[in-house]
């Protein structure tokens, strides 16, 4: 944790999104230490027995909190307001409910939450921003679940942004590389059927089973799949949702572990409210090779 603190002090961010934050570490370290450095923050713990979650911090001299909510992602599609009529929530909910295994995983098993914080600028008159921070389901066969989770998160962010006339910053560990369905939805606004992204994203719809450990199960035979089940629908953002842009670009990696090197973490602001000025330099593989993985004794 001291390495993380050194990194934060060095960059001195105005806004800060953290994932995989141990609950006790938030209470005893991050919250009091960052408070002493001029930050305020909120924390959201994952569902179930997992004592970790996500946190959002902001400089208290730059922003004030209007409201915050930590919501299980499985609850985000329930009871949409009338203003959500352009969103495909009913059809997606029907699709999920028709696929019993998918429904059980998304509604009962996965403990993913999203933390939403709506802030008002103290320095720019009446400027507001809705921040979202999440850590999506990790399983290598769950690209379709992460796509659906992302869609529901973007819908809630849209509702809050309309309510407060605010910009949006979507961030977190999406456990998704750039070609994945979740990232393509944020970058291109649509994951349409009969496209490589859509086909790849839903290719494991009938393969993923809760509790799979170790070697991945083989794909099911076509004869074992109920042909009466509805096919995966198109996933697209409505016209009124603001255009997002990838503020971190495409670094070689944001996760570096033995046997798994990939970009999994992103920041997507709304282009109507924010512009990219500069980014921090990206680590290169040559920086990590002799250290085996991240984190290590020199890098948080």
pLDDT at position 214, please? 65
Distances (CA, A) of 274 to 7, 41, 103, 128: 24, 22, 36, 11
Beta partners for residue 133, in sequence order? 115, 171
Tell me if 48 sits within 8 A of 57, measured CB to CB: no
The full 3-state SS of 230-245, as one line of letters, equals: CCCCCEECCCCCCCEC
Tokens (6 digits) for 49: 């027995």
- pLDDT beneath 70, residues of the chain: 212-214
Q: What is the pTM of this model?
A: 0.95
Q: pLDDT tens for residues 51-109?
A: 999 999 999 999 999 999 999 999 998 777 777 889 999 999 999 999 999 999 999 99
Distances (CA, A) of 85 to 73, 156, 159, 292: 19, 13, 11, 49
């Amino acid at each position: 944790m001291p390495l993380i603190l050194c990194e934060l002090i060095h960059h001195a961010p105005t806004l800060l999104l953290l994932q995989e934050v141990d609950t006790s570490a938030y209470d005893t370290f991050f919250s009091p230490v960052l408070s002493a450095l001029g930050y305020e923050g909120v924390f959201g713990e994952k569902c179930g027995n997992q004592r970790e979650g996500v946190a959002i911090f902001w400089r208290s001299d730059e922003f004030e909190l209007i409201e915050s909510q930590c919501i299980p992602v499985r609850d985000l599609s329930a009871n949409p307001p009338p203003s959500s009529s352009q969103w495909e929530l009913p059809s997606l909910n029907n699709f999920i409910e028709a696929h019993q295994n998918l429904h059980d995983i998304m509604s009962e098993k996965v403990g993913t939450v999203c933390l939403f914080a709506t802030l008002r600028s103290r320095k720019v008159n009446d400027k507001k921003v809705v921040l979202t921070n999440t850590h999506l389901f990790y399983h290598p066969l769950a690209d379709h679940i992460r796509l659906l989770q992302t869609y529901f998160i973007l819908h809630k962010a849209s509702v809050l942004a309309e309510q407060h006339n605010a910009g949006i910053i979507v961030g977190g560990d999406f456990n998704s590389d750039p070609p994945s369905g979740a990232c393509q939805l944020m970058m291109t606004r649509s994951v349409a059927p009969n496209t490589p992204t859509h086909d790849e994203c839903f290719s494991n719809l009938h393969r993923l089973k809760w509790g799979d450990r170790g070697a991945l199960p083989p794909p099911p035979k076509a004869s074992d799949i109920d042909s009466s089940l509805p096919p995966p629908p198109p996933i697209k953002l409505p016209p009124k949702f603001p255009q997002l842009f990838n503020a971190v670009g495409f670094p070689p990696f944001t996760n570096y572990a033995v046997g798994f090197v990939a970009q999994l973490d992103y920041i997507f602001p709304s282009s109507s409210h924010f512009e990219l000025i500069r980014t921090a330099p990206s680590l290169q593989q040559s920086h990590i090779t002799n250290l085996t993985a991240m984190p290590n004794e020199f890098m948080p």
